[in-house]
Structure 1
């Protein structure tokens, strides 16, 4: 497929069969429109925790911290939109709970048609996928214009949590502690922790840890960069500290995680 072409992926493909790719707080370089067709779970988006279920559409702009946990029974699709394309995306992340049957069918039909076009891989597939992406973007814009999807007023804890999540995305590899981020936001570490816990169910330190852990696991399984260089990139004082960090959060060493991922890829 042409590089930078829009893609339709199932949630299983988006996670590449590894739950942590969706359940850990992280951000991506591309935009996502996720359509849940079965299951219930939890969503972290824009610094707030949400319950989600069937016929929910999740709009995740590029570089927006989020996490999705639908469990093993959850099913859905994602439209992956590379940043810089002509497809218009909302600047703010949104969760849309779709109740109108016609709107449900319209989005499902568009995603299925785009999926068939992608699989056929015919001439001009990139232009065709862009066209489907535009139609899906129009669907999103129309839904955003409906009164039922007007965003709820956010309280102070949610606003602070969202600001912190934006900082985590921008600075997770900058050797800044949670307390450093709190100081930059003009609040105490205790206040930031309470706000994040109230808004997301996780502490501020948890969110920062998850983002670092996601990056570490991603680099271990997608590159051949030595673990000690990954540790240095993520601000760890030593390779030994990095190894202890990974063992604590995954019950495996960096080397073991890399080998396990390689074995999984061979089986797939």
Structure 2
């Protein structure tokens, strides 16, 4: 099931014991192209604070009701480490966030989600229990007895850029094919189980009036954040022949 970043914005977010807030933004990893965090606006519940909710916690996405359910309690969310979502999220902040919830780090291992292809909420019960249980036993506070592992984790803490980008920020970025401009980014489409970004929706209004096309996200090969541009390994002719995007269901 493909979900749209724009569609998800505004969804109500519920914990097991009540509403947390609404989805304000998504943070995605620009290296592996996966949604890593939902930015949830808590409204007046926690003094207007925005919090991060990981796909590890998301148990249900209900398109009809425009809501998602997280395997969390309101108290857990309230006591979670604070993050200023108006600034880039550092790897150290991610580590604190993941350690607090005892999630396995997605940036270690060869899978999209660390040693798994899916976040915990979508993994099989046996594999999820094994990964989460092993993680909790090995690193109750982010530490580990293995010196090699400890050195690697410290290197991760020192990394300046975890490659997290805001979906709101990149919407509107210009997109270049190998032989010229094709339009600007209108939306990101991700798979609702793995949270992997599968397609880039491009507004080609200045070139193909009134048309939006969906491009395979794997064709993205470079991002110039300074110039606010995305580069894809396609020709303009290939883009012209790409499937037209009609919009998310119900929009």
Indicate whether the TM-score tops 0.5. Answer: no
Q: TM-score, normalised by structure 2?
A: 0.29
Q: Higher helix share goes to which structure?
A: 1
